[in-house]
Structure 1
């Protein structure tokens, strides 16, 4: 039988799902579904508490909160409500007494699937320049290494040393394992981020270890690997065949496919090289999603008494 896909994902929740339906328990991982009554939204909290669990989950130790809703990237009158809900969960991750926050929009604004971070930061309410003490919200869009010749982490480290923020909020586009999560899932984490890791372009980490201050990362999946789409389609076809008596036997044969046999099937896609794809309307989705993220950050940051100018 085919095991859960082990393709890369930025989502801790998807990494945890890889072990569902198996006898393997992950010690040191706590999963909690949080109640959200204000909207049709599923909220899941994953805590990775030990180095051993981090190794199994392929994610740093820390808290990961995911907000899932089909209407997130659609034209909806609930956008403001989604932003309010997001703000509440962002506030949970902001340390008390934080007065200076730097927002960083990662990604290439000229590429649709990678423009989420820059588009979000462009809509933030920047207030640091109103304060003589440097308190409030500042922001930067550092661009990509191909255009700057510098590691993004190096640019952020220099700004951090000069402006002395107490917290960094990083916004970036993510990679998912399931196409169903594209544009429908927001992940928040207090572990920072590894830019480019989702598409195999590993860069220096942006986290508390490298910068010396807490880093909150907020992201939404915008791309998925072609192999993942093949697996999703295969599983859908398998379930459809098994529901009908005349095709049930064929569905069962698909169900019994071994991991090695699946690799042979997937190899037909992999021959074209490692490819990532996005929905054809992702440009419109990024506009709507960046608005929700920016409003959520604005509400979380500026609703705090010390941030009001």
Structure 2
């Protein structure tokens, strides 16, 4: 079975349904549609569901916002509030929780800089709790944050850094923010995924690093990610599908070219594309030309959502005034 690169549970579910013409057993799906966004909540309930959509047992929330990459301030504020609501809905954060926010990725590479950019904008308060010897506050939560970098910069496995910090700081919850890979160009910078199953950095682009989740670091892990890249072979594959659909719509059914393309299975087509591209474009991923602007905007949305979800005394008015 060919493997399309994606970090999104909703896309794995789509691929399974496309192949089998039905949803997987052991997977519960709930969809909420609003005027400017769609929230899809996928719960992987058991081993069968996990194996079918290639995701660990747990909850995956996808917020699809078609205009997110062209959004005005009002839409950004609206989606920040949605992000805050969904994080709270996971029920991992308690009134007296100590939280560690981890910005994964390489701050020197723009498409991979979402995590570090978010860390720059979250409200960090742990130092005040230490200095004033406080356990709880009515306005702010006990929040620490770090951007550990990538192994190519530090020489240290990112998961090892996080595990060491967790052992020292002893948070009750870790929230990891990372750039993701999608199998569809129209999901790049328009989709936010929130899950409670931890994260495997670099998996979507074939660069698997040490996985970290509750079993590996000892505390619950919420992962927040936004696709910033798509595999080049996937773009070519989807383009061929559009060509086939176009030929069909233009009454070219029966033509030799149409028959040739339509008889190739999805697995064969994708494998052929990879075989042709690999000598010239091996491991190439594609990102939008305005990714620097998008990363800035998206990091504000995620950081504002985190600040509102974690700090009980902070609302949209506060984040707009102080955290930009």
TM-score where L is the length of structure 2: 0.87
Measured in 2, the distance between the counterparts of 1:97 and 1:75 equals 33
Change (3 A) 1:55 1:245: closer
- 144-153 or 254-263, larger mean C-alpha shift: 254-263
**What's 1:107 paired with?**
105
**What's 2:289 paired with?**
280
Classify the secondary structure of the residue corresponding to 1:303.
coil
Measured in 1, the distance between the counterparts of 2:239 and 2:188 equals 15
Classify the secondary structure of the residue corresponding to 2:308.
helix
**What's 2:268 paired with?**
260
Measured in 2, the distance between the counterparts of 1:266 and 1:164 equals 45
Unaligned runs of 5+ in 2: 136-140, 315-324
Answer yes or no: is the 8 Å Cα contact 1:30–1:47 preserved in 2.
Answer: yes
User: Pick from 229, 239, 255: which aligns with 2:235?
Assistant: 229
Answer yes or no: is the 8 Å Cα contact 2:102–2:147 preserved in 1.
Answer: yes
Answer yes or no: is the 8 Å Cα contact 1:181–1:221 preserved in 2.
Answer: yes
Answer yes or no: is the 8 Å Cα contact 2:116–2:147 preserved in 1.
Answer: yes
Q: What is the count of residue pairs matched by the alignment? A: 301
Change (3 A) 1:237 1:220: same
Measured in 1, the distance between the counterparts of 2:273 and 2:311 equals 52
Answer yes or no: is the 8 Å Cα contact 2:59–2:197 preserved in 1.
Answer: yes
Measured in 1, the distance between the counterparts of 2:285 and 2:237 equals 14
**What's 2:79 paired with?**
82
Answer yes or no: is the 8 Å Cα contact 1:107–1:172 preserved in 2.
Answer: yes
**What's 1:244 paired with?**
250
Classify the secondary structure of the residue corresponding to 1:80.
helix
**What's 2:317 paired with?**
none
1:159 Cα offset (Å): 1.2
Measured in 1, the distance between the counterparts of 2:175 and 2:259 equals 47
Answer yes or no: is the 8 Å Cα contact 1:227–1:270 preserved in 2.
Answer: no
Answer yes or no: is the 8 Å Cα contact 2:214–2:220 preserved in 1.
Answer: yes
Change (3 A) 1:290 1:75: same
Please, what is the CA RMSD of the aligned residues?
2.1
1:153 Cα offset (Å): 1.1
Measured in 1, the distance between the counterparts of 2:253 and 2:22 equals 32
**What's 1:121 paired with?**
119
Measured in 1, the distance between the counterparts of 2:214 and 2:16 equals 29
Change (3 A) 1:40 1:251: farther
Classify the secondary structure of the residue corresponding to 1:220.
strand
Classify the secondary structure of the residue corresponding to 1:43.
strand
Classify the secondary structure of the residue corresponding to 2:292.
helix
Q: How does 1:30-69 map to 2 (within 5 A)?
A: 30-35=28-33, 37=34, 39-69=35-65
Measured in 1, the distance between the counterparts of 2:160 and 2:273 equals 42
Q: Which runs of 4+ in 1 moved over 3 A?
A: 246-253
TM-score where L is the length of structure 1: 0.91
